[in-house]
Structure 1
Amino acid sequence: MSQIGQKQRYDHETGGLAKRPIDRRVARTRRMLHQALLSLILEKGYEAILVEDICERANVGRSTFYAHFTGKDDLKRSGLEHLRQELVERQRNSSTSTPNGTRPLGFSLPMFEHAHDHMHLYQALVGSKGGAIALDTIRQTLCDFVRNELTMAGGKDPTGVPREFIVQHVVGAYMAVLSWWLEGGAKLPPQQMDEFFRRLVDEGATSYYS
């Protein structure tokens, strides 16, 4: 097996490459850096943060930081990987309750719940480069998730619309609603947001799942 093959494998559940478990010391260092970044975002905003600030807060050296990440943007993207894992786990849990093993739009409720639980961080990032990075990473994650759902469902679109079109349509609509909801203070509960979103999308997009 090649060196790349030894380090990573294709994960059919997430629709991408899954890395092997990280060494505990490495995981601990990355966790401290992520926590340092989050605390600094709340204190001074993303744009004002320097790598030196993150290192000082996490009590690690610059060389250690750059051994793991190329910069604070890379650190921010990495911090959202747990979201993908959470969505996949929730998909597994919900699949047992559906006849074909896949619950359409399975990302919707857990994404609303995650955003609600971390609303202060999302709001602190609004209008910043970090916010754009976070939203773009979330969008890519949700696109991968929807593609994987459609592949697992194996359904055919009766209208002849390309699958990638429906992926971009569903995720684009979701991201617009998610941003509107957060900017308004997330006053509606996640469960109701999920219900509204499903109600509007079900008639069209979920025909792919049948």
Structure 2
Amino acid sequence: MSDKKEDRRVQRTRTMLHEALLDLIVEKGYEAITVQDLIDRANIGRSTFYFHFVDKEELLVDTINRTREFLKEQMSKRTIAEETGRTSFGFSLAILQHVQSHKQIYRATVGKQSGALVLHHMKRMITDLAREEIEMQLSSSDSSLIPQDLAVEFVVNTLMTLMIWWMDRNAHYSAYEMDRMFHQLILNGIGWEE
């Protein structure tokens, strides 16, 4: 019983720190945030912060990992619900919906010098998701002339460019419209057909 209480307390503290980080990114930009800012916003002690995280970058990586798990969960729910067979790059809609629902955070990071580290870790997350799918797609197709690592770079950079364009220009497109644009760019560029 005490393990469950401790697990809930740990989860609650981590959630408060994740929320504090995201709020402060919007307000100050990632680079300007200090550990003191985080502990003040989350209303926790310094030792509690360091019990959970080594520094603010580890908190950032943990936040992005939580986002990745959330996105994978959303993708699997959608796949199960739709039962439509194979869809290329199913992760893109989940990512774009996440961006749309967290516009303030993404606008505070994309294309900004202070958001470079955030984008670096986000790009790593998207790279992992893209690599998983591309390995499945290209391994089943022996006739592909495109090396997997090149295909991954192409897909990731296209999605990142699309997201930056969307946020920088405050373009009034929905996540679904952006996903259609992404698929049109990718599938024509790689030559896959859905």
Aligning the two structures, in what range does the TM-score lie when normalised by the shorter sequence? Answer: 0.7 to 0.9
Is it true that 1:200 corresponds to 2:171 in the alignment?
Answer: no
Corresponding residue for 2:176?
191
1:7-39: CA deviation from partner (whole Å, max 9, x where unpaired): xxxxxxxxxxxxxxx922211111111122222
Instruction: Give the RMSD, CA atoms, in angstroms.
Output: 2.3
**Number of equivalences:** 185
Unmatched segments (≥5 aa) in structure 1: 1-21
- Does structure 2 conserve the Cα–Cα contact (< 8 Å) formed by 1:104 and 1:206? no
- TM-score, normalised relative to structure 2: 0.84
Corresponding residue for 1:76?
60
- Does structure 2 conserve the Cα–Cα contact (< 8 Å) formed by 1:36 and 1:57? yes
- Does structure 1 conserve the Cα–Cα contact (< 8 Å) formed by 2:64 and 2:125? no
The change in CA–CA distance for 1:91 and 1:37 in structure 2 (over 3 A counts) is closer
Unmatched segments (≥5 aa) in structure 2: 1-5
Q: CA deviation at 1:191?
A: 0.8
Corresponding residue for 1:11?
none
Is it true that 1:171 corresponds to 2:126 in the alignment?
Answer: no
SS at match of 1:88: helix
Q: CA deviation at 1:158?
A: 2.2
Distance in 1 of aligned mates of 2:122 and 2:190: 20
Corresponding residue for 2:87?
103
More helix, by proportion: 2
Corresponding residue for 1:30?
14
- Does structure 2 conserve the Cα–Cα contact (< 8 Å) formed by 1:166 and 1:205? yes
Q: Percentage identity across aligned positions? A: 38
SS at match of 1:47: helix
Q: CA deviation at 1:51?
A: 0.7
Q: CA deviation at 1:106?
A: 0.7
- TM-score, normalised relative to structure 1: 0.78
Q: CA deviation at 1:93?
A: 2.8
Distance in 2 of aligned mates of 1:177 and 1:157: 30
Distance in 1 of aligned mates of 2:184 and 2:22: 34
SS at match of 1:80: helix
User: Which letter maps to 1:98?
Assistant: T
Pick from 18, 24, 49 the counterpart of residue 65 of structure 1: 49
Runs of 4+ residues over 4 Å off in structure 1: none
Mean Cα displacement is larger for which, 152-161 or 83-92?
152-161
